[in-house]
Amino acid sequence: MNNNLKSPVNIPVEKIRPFEGHPYKVLDNEEMNTLIESIQEQGVLSPVLLRPIENTDEYEVISGHRRLHATVKAGMKEVPAFIYAVSRDEAAIMLVDSNLHREHILPSERAFAYKLKMEAMSRQGYRSDLTSCQVGTKLRTDEIIAENSTDSARQIQRYIRLTNLIPELLNMMDEEKIAFSVGVEISFLDEQMQYDLLRVIEKYDCTPSYSQAWHMHRDFNEGTLTIESIENTLASEKPNQKPMCKVPIEKLQKIAPKVKDKDFEDFVLKACEHYYKYLQRQRSRDRDAR
């Protein structure tokens, strides 16, 4: 692709479009604020990579979605860019490769990145099947992707499985509330069963262990998984699960309507401490009265 590389040129941000279906999240967080401040002070130090959109005077981002977003937020009208005259499938592969080695990448981003690259390579004629392993056949697409990745072909397959999760469960994985291996197992449940599982997770405020997820996967394959069996599975205490006290926030709000939601835990602990000291005083008075 190097023959497409030219000197950077300034492109109006209004003519640039995000790569449709790109897997990477562009968040307005502290890290983004730091990038915006840097651009305001020094400009965009690393040009974005763009491809011309066919039959238009616009461009599509290959690499630099965060930089483009920060540039717009910084109030700048143009961004320096390298232009690559490549097809969309070629651009998809470049987009994935330019981001997979980032220090911080969410499970959902990696999952959809591998899927995007797999589909692009499949359209280019690579083998897309993930099951055939006959000796003497050309490499499968996942094996080729693995050659330039820290993940094995098998791990790439497992990441792609995660794209079958409903958004709510995938977000829980990104937030590290659900383990990777657990996410892979529950990705085999259909959408309705996943939403049933989500309701049970919210009801009991707990997530499945790997063993529980494996059993749900097995029961789903056998046609015996129901919301009742999911509830029974998650309601059973896991070996490493500590007992928790759960009080509906509505009840606490009646007692302390001015306390903010995030301060309720501290409020409850102090109330319990105060009540404990009250009981100690009562016991002391009772002993003195004898």
Let me know whether 151 and 94 are in one domain.
Answer: no
Residue 222 lies in a domain: yes
Residue 290 lies in a domain: no
Let me know whether 91 and 159 are in one domain.
Answer: no
Let me know whether 120 and 90 are in one domain.
Answer: no
Which range marks the domain in which residue 95 is found?
A: 1-99
Query: Is residue 132 over pLDDT 90?
Result: no
Most confident by average pLDDT, 3-7, 200-204, 255-259: 200-204
Let me know whether 230 and 275 are in one domain.
Answer: no
Query: Is residue 205 over pLDDT 60?
Result: yes
DSSP per-residue string spanning the chain: -GGG----EEEEGGGEEPPTT-------SHHHHHHHHHHHHH--SS-EEEEEPTTSS-EEEEE-HHHHHHHHHTT-SEEEEEE----HHHHHHHHHHHHTT-SS--HHHHHHHHHHHHHHHHHTT-B--SS---TTSPPBHHHHHHHTSSS-HHHHHHHHHGGGS-HHHHHHHHTTSS-HHHHHHHTTS-HHHHHHHHHHHHHHT----HHHHHHHHHHHHTT---HHHHHHHHHSPPTTPPP-----HHHHHHH-TTS-GGGHHHHHHHHHHHHHHHHHHHHHHHHHH-
- Predicted confidence at residue 4, as pLDDT, reads 58
Let me know whether 116 and 157 are in one domain.
Answer: yes
Residue 243 lies in a domain: no
Last residue of a domain, one of 66, 82, 99: 99
Domain count, the chain: 4
Let me know whether 182 and 227 are in one domain.
Answer: yes
Last residue of a domain, one of 47, 80, 99: 99
Let me know whether 91 and 2 are in one domain.
Answer: yes
* Residues 64-112: tens digit of each pLDDT: 999 999 999 999 999 999 999 999 999 999 999 887 777 678 999 999 9
Last residue of a domain, one of 131, 164, 197: 164
- Predicted confidence at residue 128, as pLDDT, reads 52
Query: Is residue 274 over pLDDT 70?
Result: yes
pTM: 0.69
